[in-house]
Amino acid sequence: GPDSYINLQEYFQLEGLTYRLVPIRTPNRNPNTYGRVGTDVMYRNVMEKFLWGNMETEGDIYLDENILRMTTNLRLQLSTLAEALIDEGEPTKAENILDLSIEKMPDRNVPFDRILLPTIEAYYQIGKDDKANAITERLFEILEEELNYYISLEPEFATPLVNDMAITHAVMDRMVQLVTSEHPQGEMGDRLRERFEGLETLYGQKLQELEGQVQRRTTKARF
């Protein structure tokens, strides 16, 4: 973790699932990675050298929580590479990486989650709206169900999940911005915005309910 990096993060170069320490200082605002991305090396590693473990297999397969944690990291690293390739004017290579990520870690075996947001953004950036829309529709459906679940909980169970609830809400908000303002998708954008606005009302009411619970507990504690 960061505690073991001895402040050398700005000299890291991402080349796959590992970093190389290089004599090049690169401040990075991307919260998902450190330093720079060695795009040529990483692209070659991912496209030619990575050995995939059949996560795309049709039929019944089981991935435990440890494997799924690794797929989260892998999805993030691949989207980071795609973003770096876009910045370098390599949209075709970026698309290859994004396609590979979805192909090798399909929703049926590696369920989509909010980590897919950078992948969606990258697809829109390179003009692949159909691919972005397909993931957006599915991810929005998943997050909508997730937020509804949080909202349905009694305060004692919902309170510890406030941060998760806020993150889910924020990702849905970002997705709506993408399909209505930044990359308008017509009817689809209108539909997702309408669904989000309905949930936003319930979300606001839930937060008020939880705040009321905290205030009541604080008042009781004083006496």
Query: What residues form DSSP beta bridges with 36?
Result: 13
Residue 4: inside a domain, yes or no? no
Please name the residue ranges forming H helices in 105-186.
Answer: 117-125, 129-152, 155-158, 162-177
Q: What is the pLDDT of residue 191?
A: 97
The amino acid at residue 4 is S
Residue 199 belongs to domain spanning: 137-218
SS3 135: helix
Residue 176: inside a domain, yes or no? yes
Residue 132: inside a domain, yes or no? no
Residue 220 in tokens = 């009781």
Average pLDDT, the chain: 92
Residue 85: inside a domain, yes or no? no
Going through the chain in order, the beta strands assigned E by DSSP cover 12-14, 19-21, 36-37
Burial class (CB in 10 A: 0-12, 13-18, 19+), 100: middle
Q: What is the number of structural domains in the chain?
A: 1
pLDDT in tens, 33-71: 899 999 999 999 999 999 998 899 988 888 899 989 999
Q: How many CB atoms lie within 10 A of CB 166?
A: 13
Please name the residue ranges forming H helices in the chain.
Answer: 39-44, 65-87, 91-104, 117-125, 129-152, 155-158, 162-177, 187-222
Q: What is the pLDDT of residue 5?
A: 85
Q: Rounded to whole angstroms, how far apart are CA atoms 217 and 150?
A: 21
Residue 6: inside a domain, yes or no? no
Residue 149: inside a domain, yes or no? yes
pLDDT in tens, 140-152: 999 999 999 999 9
Residue 102: inside a domain, yes or no? no
